[in-house]
Amino acid sequence: MTVQLIATQPFNDQKPGTSGLRKRVSVFQSPHYLENFVQSIFDAITAPNGATLVLGGDGRFHNQEAIQIILKMAAANGFGKVLVGQRGILSTPAASCVIRKYQTYGGIILSASHNPGGPQGDFGIKYNMANGGPAPEKVTEDIFARSKEITQYRIVDAPDIALDVLGETDLHGMKVEVIDSVADYAELMGSLFDFAAIRQLLADGFRIKFDAMHAVTGPYARAILVDALGAPADAIMNAEPLPDFGGGHPDPNLTYAHDLVEIMYGEDAPDFGAASDGDGDRNMILGKHFFVTPSDSLALIAADARLAPGYAQGIAGVARSMPTSAAVDRVAQELDIPCFETPTGWKFFGNLMDAGKVTLCGEESFGTGSNHVREKDGLWAVLFWLNILAIKRQSVETIVKRHWARFGRNVYSRHDYEELPSDVANGLIDHVRASFASLTGKTFGAYTVKTCDDFSYTDPVDGSVSQKQGIRILFEDGSRIVFRLSGTGTEGATLRIYLEAFEPDRSKHDLDAQDALAEMITIADDIAGLKQRTGREQPTVIT
Ligand code: VG1
Ligand code: CO
C-alpha cells in the first residue's frame, strides 16, 4: 500500500452553495471530480496529523463508492481515524451529533438532501466543523479557492473497506471505525424528550404516520418511534432507504410528500403525520386534515419549549432565516428573549448557538433545530411535537389555532419556479433591484411599500458580513414579499418568492393561505413581471 500523488487539473465549478457542493451524479462520476473537491477540503481545513473525521451520507446512489474514495484519501492525507456510519449511512443530524459527541476535528457528509437521487439524480458533499455545523462561508470560500488551483491529490492504493460490520480496521495506518448509524443519535433524542409521556400517548391510541420517503430516516424512525416509543410498525411508511429514493423527490412538503398528504387528509386520517427529507434534516408536520407551516411550527415549539425535559430551563434566544415568517419573533417578544434574523442556510446559526445566544433555530424550508446539534433535525422536530402533544392532549389543529388566537397569524406561503433559464431568473432579480426607488412609497391596493432592500447580515459573533441574501419588499402593515434565487439546485435557476401577511383578526384565521395571500401574489407578479418574464402561469411548487 502506497500513497499515490495523482496529477489533476482544476474544475471551475466547485463552488459550494447554500449547503455544500451539489451536482448531477454523472458530474461526480467524471474522473477526478470528487477527488479534487475532497483534496480541496483537506487542503483548506489544515487538520493536524492524526485528526479524526466523521464520514457518512444519506445512502443515495454513489454514496458507497464516494465513501471508499474519501477513506483512501483521508488515509493519504494524514488523518488518524475516520468514524464511518455502517453501510456508509449517517443522516445529517446524526453526523452532527457524532462529530460533537466524539469531539472529532470535523466531518464529511454526502448528500444532496431533498434533490432526487439515482444515476440520473444528484449527489452532494459538504464539510462540517468541529462544532458539528456546516462550514461557514470563510471556509467554503477557502475550499473553492483551493479547487481552482489544485494540481494533485493524495490517495492510498488499497482494497475497499467492508462497511457492513461494526468495528475497527486499519487502512494504511489510519483507523476506520464503522459505527452504528443510529445509536448515538437515538440516545441523544432520549435525553431531550419525555419518552415515557410519548409512549403513553401512543399506548392511549394516538395514531401517527411518519413518511421516510425511502430516504435516510427509515432506520432512525424505526429505532425511535417503533422500538423505543411503541408505535406500530406500519406507523412508518417508505421506511426502506433506496439509492434512488424509489424514484421520488425526497422533499417533505405538500407537493412531493403527496402519499402522506393523501392519508392525512383522507377519511380515516391518523392524528399526526410527519415526513423527512433525503438526509433527515427537514420535517413536515401535519395534523388530521391540517398542515402546519414550518414557520408556525418553529414559533409553536418556541412557545411550548419548556414542555420537553431538554428545554425545561427555558430557551436563551431564537433565530430564523430572513425569509422565514416573523411568527417566532412574536413569541420571542413575549418570552422576552432575543430573536436573530440570518441569511438562508443553517451555517449562519452556528456562531449564535456556539455563543449561547440562541437555543432554537428554524427556516421556512421545513427546517427546525436546536443547539443539541448544529444542523436542522427532522426527527427531533417530530419528537418535539409528539412531546408537546403528549402533555397537552389536544389536536394539532387546536394547538395551532390557539397559538394564532394568542399571537396572531403570520399567513405565509412560498412559491417556487424551478429550472428557469439562468438569464431569465437573473434578469428578473435585476429588474426588481433596479425598481427599488420607484417602488418605495408606491401603493398596490391595500398595501403600500415602506422600503425595499437587498438583505445583508453582519454576524454578531465574528463580524463577518454576507451581502445580497435576498430582496425584501417590506409593506407598511408588516407584510412582505421576498425574492431569492436558490443555492441548492443543479439545473438552471430556481426562483423562490416568499409571501407573508400578518392577520391579527381571529375570524380570518381559517382562511386558506393562498386565498388570504391572493393580493400579495398579484403584487409579486406586478413588481417582478413574473408571468411575462418566466412564461409560466403557475409556480412549480407551492408550500
Ligand atoms: C434550501 C432552503 C434553505 C436550506 C437549504 C439546505 O436552500 O431554502 O432554507 O437551508 O435548502 O437544506 P436554497 O438555497 O435552495 O433556497 V437541505 O435539507 O437541502 O440541506
Ligand atoms: Co436536507
- DSSP symbols for 36-59: HHHHHHHHHH-PPTT-EEEEEE--
In angstroms, what CA-CA distances link 263 with 211, 231, 275, 288, 384? Answer: 11, 17, 12, 9, 22
8-state DSSP, 20: B
Q: Which atom of ligand 1 is nearest to the CA of 487?
A: 14
In one letter, which amino acid is 264?
M
Measured between alpha carbons, how far is 503 from 500 in angstroms, rounded to an integer? 10
**Poorest-pLDDT segment among 230-239, 295-304, 445-454, 531-540:** 531-540
Residue whose cell numbers read 414550518: 294
Measured between alpha carbons, how far is 394 from 66 in angstroms, rounded to an integer? 46
Secondary structure element (H or E) that encloses residue 450, with its range: strand 447-454
Residue 510: per-residue pLDDT: 85
8 A C-beta contact, residue 225 and residue 245: no
8 A C-beta contact, residue 34 and residue 21: no
8 A C-beta contact, residue 96 and residue 349: no
**Poorest-pLDDT segment among 142-156, 235-249, 489-503:** 489-503
Q: Which atom of ligand 1 is nearest to the CA of 17?
A: 14
Taking residues 151-168, what's their average pLDDT? 96
- How far is ligand 2, taken at its centre, from the CA of residue 179, in Å? 22
In one letter, which amino acid is 292?
V
- How far is ligand 1, taken at its centre, from the CA of residue 462, in Å? 23
Q: Whose CA is nearest to atom 1 of ligand 1?
A: 488
**DSSP string of 266-284?**
STT--SEEEEE-TTS-BEE
Identical fold, 3-181 and 185-407: yes
**DSSP string of 56-84?**
EE---TTHHHHHHHHHHHHHHTT-SEEEE
Give the pLDDT band of residue 513 (cuts 50, 70, 90): confident
- How far is ligand 1, taken at its centre, from the CA of residue 230, in Å? 32
Taking residues 358-377, what's their average pLDDT? 97
By percentage, how much of the chain surpasses pLDDT 90?
91
Q: Which atom of ligand 1 is nearest to the CA of 111?
A: 20
8-state DSSP, 386: H
Q: Which mutation among 137, 365, 455 tests ligand 1's pocket best, with the greatest number of atoms within 8 A of CB?
A: 365
Residue 109 has pLDDT above 70, yes or no: yes
- pLDDT digits 0-9 by tens, 186-216: 999 999 999 999 999 999 999 999 999 999 9
Q: Which ligand is nearest to the CA of 543?
A: 1
Collect all residues with Cβ–Cβ distance below 8 Å to 59 and sequence separation of at least 6.
Answer: 87, 88, 89, 215, 216, 241, 242, 243
Which CATH code is given to the segment(s) 185-407? Answer: 3.40.120.10
Count of C-beta atoms within a 10 Å radius of residue 103: 9
Catalytic residue among 96, 113, 181, 479: 113
CA dihedral of residues 102, 103, 104, 107 (deg, nearest 10): 90
Residue 322: per-residue pLDDT: 97
What rounded mean pLDDT belongs to the chain? 95
Residue 1: per-residue pLDDT: 65
Instruction: Decide: pTM greater than 0.95.
Output: no
- pLDDT digits 0-9 by tens, 23-47: 999 999 999 999 999 999 999 999 9
In angstroms, what CA-CA distances link 188 with 49, 198, 350? Answer: 30, 16, 19
With H, G, I as helix, E, B as strand and everything else as coil, classify residue 513. Answer: helix
Q: Whose CA is nearest to atom 20 of ligand 1?
A: 113
Taking residues 466-471, what's their average pLDDT? 93
Q: Which mutation among 341, 344, 346 tests ligand 1's pocket best, with the greatest number of atoms within 8 A of CB?
A: 344
Q: Which atom of ligand 1 is nearest to the CA of 281?
A: 18
- How far is ligand 1, taken at its centre, from the CA of residue 125, in Å? 14
Which CATH code is given to the segment(s) 3-181? Answer: 3.40.120.10
In one letter, which amino acid is 135?
A
C-alpha cell of 156?
492510498
Count of C-beta atoms within a 10 Å radius of residue 234: 9
Q: Which mutation among 19, 115, 484 tests ligand 1's pocket best, with the greatest number of atoms within 8 A of CB?
A: 19
Residue 507 has pLDDT above 90, yes or no: no
Q: Residue 327's closest CA among 411, 389, 388?
A: 411
Secondary structure element (H or E) that encloses residue 384, with its range: helix 378-392
Residue 217 has pLDDT above 80, yes or no: yes
Measured between alpha carbons, how far is 55 from 88 in angstroms, rounded to an integer? 8
8 A C-beta contact, residue 57 and residue 126: no
C-alpha cell of 161?
473497506
Q: Which atom of ligand 1 is nearest to the CA of 489?
A: 15
8-state DSSP, 134: B
- pLDDT digits 0-9 by tens, 491-505: 789 999 999 998 888
Residue 406: per-residue pLDDT: 94
Say which CATH topology domain 409-542 has.
TATA-Binding Protein (3.30.310)
State the chain's maximal CA–CA distance in angstroms. Answer: 73
- How far is ligand 1, taken at its centre, from the CA of residue 161, in Å? 32
Q: Residue 133's closest CA among 113, 107, 114?
A: 107
Measured between alpha carbons, how far is 509 from 412 in angstroms, rounded to an integer? 12
- How far is ligand 1, taken at its centre, from the CA of residue 350, in Å? 15
Given CA atoms 91, 92, 97, 99 in this order, what sign does their dihedral have?
Answer: positive
Ligand 1 pocket, CB under 6 A: 18-19, 113-114, 277, 281-282, 321, 344-346, 363, 365, 367, 486-488, 496
With H, G, I as helix, E, B as strand and everything else as coil, classify residue 177. Answer: strand
- Sequence spans of domains, the chain: 3-181, 185-407, 409-542
Q: Which ligand is nearest to the CA of 279?
A: 2
Residue 516: per-residue pLDDT: 87
Residue 226 has pLDDT above 80, yes or no: yes
By percentage, how much of the chain surpasses pLDDT 70?
100
Q: Whose CA is nearest to atom 3 of ligand 1?
A: 345
Taking residues 3-10, what's their average pLDDT? 96
Give the pLDDT band of residue 120 (cuts 50, 70, 90): very high
Measured between alpha carbons, how far is 287 from 400 in angstroms, rounded to an integer? 10
- How far is ligand 1, taken at its centre, from the CA of residue 488, in Å? 6
Taking residues 224-235, what's their average pLDDT? 97
Q: Which ligand is nearest to the CA of 280?
A: 2
Measured between alpha carbons, how far is 182 from 332 in angstroms, rounded to an integer? 33
Q: Which mutation among 488, 497, 541 tests ligand 1's pocket best, with the greatest number of atoms within 8 A of CB?
A: 488
Q: Whose CA is nearest to atom 18 of ligand 1?
A: 113
Q: Which ligand is nearest to the CA of 367?
A: 1
Residue 487 has pLDDT above 90, yes or no: no
Q: Is 191 a catalytic residue?
A: no
Extended strands (E) in 91-162: 106-110, 122-128, 152-156
Residue whose cell numbers read 459550494: 16
